[in-house]
Structure 1
């Protein structure tokens, strides 16, 4: 199964992606984790990515597209994956469609989680404290949520028109949300 998991920052995409990956026996591929790994290890990609994320900005498409394509082509992703944090804008949808065609790996479903703004802000603030994430400042969070609303949320209509969209309330019990998603995916 090949699944995109989408939603605003703090909605629980990573948590649900990990649970789904375990359930389906496929890798959870997080662009955020890939960037954080490179940033913490000060790789050339990480240094370049940090120059954006430290200001609450998103990493440019060409950099993100390359890292995603390389990851989706790895052996452990041949039988499926859950992609978290990508695509985030219309040009990345086009790039992902091209990647999947080249890899001959069609997308099955898009799970979209949602929660109210107050819940998102609380979750992100808690995550910043627990994980020591320097990129989760109140200003950066606000900027990323606005960017999501403007650039990523409209992508859900694309996947809805393709019959791939599964909408799920991201508020409530983690295990209950996971069971709901699995039930909707069939």
Structure 2
């Protein structure tokens, strides 16, 4: 199964990605984690990571190359769960092309929703607990604006393909994961 988890920053995509990947036995591919892991590999990566720490998205071509390399790994052959990628329509179109070239497509796009005040509180808490540089008030506000401007059109791109499932993400993580599996017609 090839899934995309999409939603605003702080909605719980990472938490759901870990829970669902374990339940489904497929890798959880977080673009944010790939960026954090890549930051020490070169000066260019460090510059891009600093750009992301300021609340900005990574440049399309850079994240496309990074994610494309990851999708080619053997553990992705039976499926995967994408988290935080694609973030723009350009990325979605290029992902579609990449998958089509290998005879694949996304099976479902899971859109998670929560009010902005919940998202901001979650991210500020995570910033304190995990010490993440990108979880400060200014960066959070910028990421929410960028999400609305750049990522919400991605949902429409996939809605036109008829593969979007919408989940309210304000309950506890286990309940949200269970609801996600039910919406995907998978027994929890």
TM-score bin, normalised by smaller chain: over 0.9
Provide the rounded CA distance (Å) in 1 between the counterparts of 2:17 and 2:55: 23
The answer to whether the 8 Å contact 2:89/2:157 transfers is no
Provide the rounded CA distance (Å) in 1 between the counterparts of 2:172 and 2:134: 26
Q: Deviations over 1:115-149 (max 9, x none)?
A: 00000000000110111101111111100000001
Q: 2:24 maps to which residue?
A: 24
Q: 2:74 maps to which residue?
A: 75
- When normalised by structure 2's length, the TM-score is 0.95
The answer to whether the 8 Å contact 1:38/1:45 transfers is no
Is the deviation greater in 45-54 or in 71-80?
45-54
Q: 1:167 maps to which residue?
A: 166
Provide the rounded CA distance (Å) in 1 between the counterparts of 2:66 and 2:24: 23
TM-superposed deviation, 1:161 = 1.6
Q: 2:181 maps to which residue?
A: 182
Provide the rounded CA distance (Å) in 1 between the counterparts of 2:53 and 2:8: 18
Provide the rounded CA distance (Å) in 2 between the counterparts of 1:22 and 1:49: 30
Q: 2:33 maps to which residue?
A: 33
* 5+ residue gaps, structure 2: none
Write the mapping of 1:34-183 to structure 2, written as runs, cut at 5 A: 34-39=34-39, 41-183=40-182
Aligned-partner SS, 1:153: helix
Aligned-partner SS, 1:83: strand
Provide the rounded CA distance (Å) in 2 between the counterparts of 1:70 and 1:59: 16
Structure 2 residue 21 is the aligned partner of structure 1 residue 7: no
Provide the rounded CA distance (Å) in 2 between the counterparts of 1:148 and 1:116: 14
- When normalised by structure 1's length, the TM-score is 0.96
Q: How many residues were matched structurally? A: 185
Q: Deviations over 1:90-137 (max 9, x none)?
A: 111111011111232221000000100000000000110111101111
Provide the rounded CA distance (Å) in 2 between the counterparts of 1:54 and 1:16: 22
Provide the rounded CA distance (Å) in 2 between the counterparts of 1:19 and 1:50: 26
Provide the rounded CA distance (Å) in 2 between the counterparts of 1:15 and 1:54: 20
Provide the rounded CA distance (Å) in 1 between the counterparts of 2:42 and 2:170: 36
